[in-house]
Amino acid sequence: MKTAKIESAPPRSFHCRALVMPQSNMLCLAAVLDPLRAANRAAGRQIYTWDIATATNQAVTLTTGLKVPANPAARLSPPDMLALIAGFDIESQSKPDILRQLMPAIHHAPLTCGIDGGGEILARCGVLRGHRATTHWEDLEKLELAFPDITVVRDRFVQSGKFITTGGASPCIDMMLHLIQRHHGRSLAESVMRTFLYDPVHAGSDPQSLVSVSRLKRRSPPVARALQLMEEHLEDPIPVSQIARRCGLSARRLEMLFRAETGSGPGQTFRALRLAEARRLVVDTPDPLQQIAVRCGFNSLPAFSRAFKESFGTAPSRLRRR
């Protein structure tokens, strides 16, 4: 393999510590560490080092069932970058005694990253006050309501001061490629990107999307734009005719493009997006069903329940009990 040219390499290797919380996504852990491993391989020498630690010096279990062992030795020296990785059940992982154990590591790291739910834990530590931050799109509203002193954005990743927060595993790869390019130049970052066949690389300011639109942006920009408008109006649905006008098309033309690209019409797609978000809220939150119905653009609970049952084969109340 051809070795990539390193631009302005630091005099020593850059050390990253992945601090993993219970119920984290294994893909997020790989998104932090594998780009560093690939950068070492492309550079032909060790420019990055890393270790894995847990918050309480106890083993943690990831969402896949894989156990990450405790690593007390990792606490002996501060890293150049701390990547705090979290996924589900953030509340139980944010008890005062756990946050107190996290604070020294967060304080001493020159760069602290909140990966996926890690951004919410940083917020609960109180270190993001006055900063811009993001998290996984499913939890953006929750973060904004709980922490009004944080400017919550829908970006894939965002840096504010010494803190970087990301929306999940794929945005984390974008962030790591960004850091590699900042440390060692574009050539090395592109070598890492090619290793993973990763295309396209997103800017941090690109919005998180509920659906994959990267291919559609190339093949049919109007359809990609229409999907973006739908995502922005889940709570206050706008007519398909208005979406078409804002995309510079007639409603009939938008219908034809949608069916060619997705196999269904824009109205069906819009409804499916709203119901998919509703199902997530039913399963993952304690929010009242009436509130979920309103948030997903249904004007009454009976109408919401009927649409939900038609789509998923069960009523939202029954799914929640299960």
Lowest-pLDDT range of 39-53, 167-181, 187-201, 230-244? 187-201
Q: Which residue has the tokens 């034809």?
A: 256
What mean pLDDT do residues 210-215 have?
54
Asked if residue 5 is part of any domain, the answer here is no
Does position 58 have pLDDT exceeding 90, yes or no?
no
**pTM: predicted TM-score of the whole model, two decimal places:** 0.65
Residue with tokens 């946050």: 99
Q: What is the pLDDT of residue 50?
A: 93
Domain ranges, residue 140: 14-195
Answer yes or no: is pLDDT of 213 > 80.
Answer: no
128 and 177 together in one domain: yes
Q: How many domains is the chain built from?
A: 2
Q: What pLDDT score does 199 carry?
A: 67
Q: Are 240 and 149 members of one domain? A: no
- On average, the pLDDT of the chain sits at 85
Asked if the structure places residue 4 within a domain, the reply is: no
Residues 216 and 154 in one domain: no
Is 104 exposed, middle or buried (CB count within 10 Å of its CB: 0-12, 13-18, 19+)? exposed
Looking at the predicted structure, is the pLDDT value of residue 232 above 90? Answer: no
Give one DSSP letter per residue of 243-260, joined into a string. Answer: HHHHTTS-HHHHHHHHHH
pLDDT in tens, 112-127: 999 999 999 999 999 9
User: Where does a domain end: 163, 195, 227?
Assistant: 195
Instruction: Assess whether 189 and 318 both reside in one domain.
Output: no
Number of C-beta neighbours around residue 236 at 10 A: 9
CA torsion 72-78-81-84 (nearest 10°) is 40
Q: Phi first, then psi: give them for residue 203, nearest 5 degrees.
A: -75, 155
Question: Between 59 and 285, where is the model more confident?
Answer: 59
- Locate tokens 């020593």: which residue? 12
Residue 233 CB burial class (10 angstroms; 0-12, 13-18, ≥19): middle
Confidence of residue 10 (pLDDT cuts 50, 70, 90): very low
Enumerate the H helices of the chain as residue ranges: 26-43, 96-108, 118-125, 140-146, 169-184, 186-195, 214-219, 221-232, 240-246, 251-262, 266-284, 289-295, 301-312, 316-321
Same domain, 106 and 167: yes
- Write out the two tokens for 47: 């420019």
Q: Please state, in angstroms and rounded to a whole number, the distance separating the CA atoms of residues 234 and 298.
A: 10
CATH number, domain of 232, equals 1.10.10.60
Cα distance between residue 235 and residue 213, in whole Å: 21
173 and 225 share one domain: no
Same domain, yes or no: 167 and 135: yes
Flag the least confident range among 56-65, 79-88, 160-169.
56-65
Using CB atoms within 10 Å of the CB of residue 83, give its burial: 0 to 12 exposed, 13 to 18 middle, 19+ buried: buried
Residues 171 and 232 in one domain: no
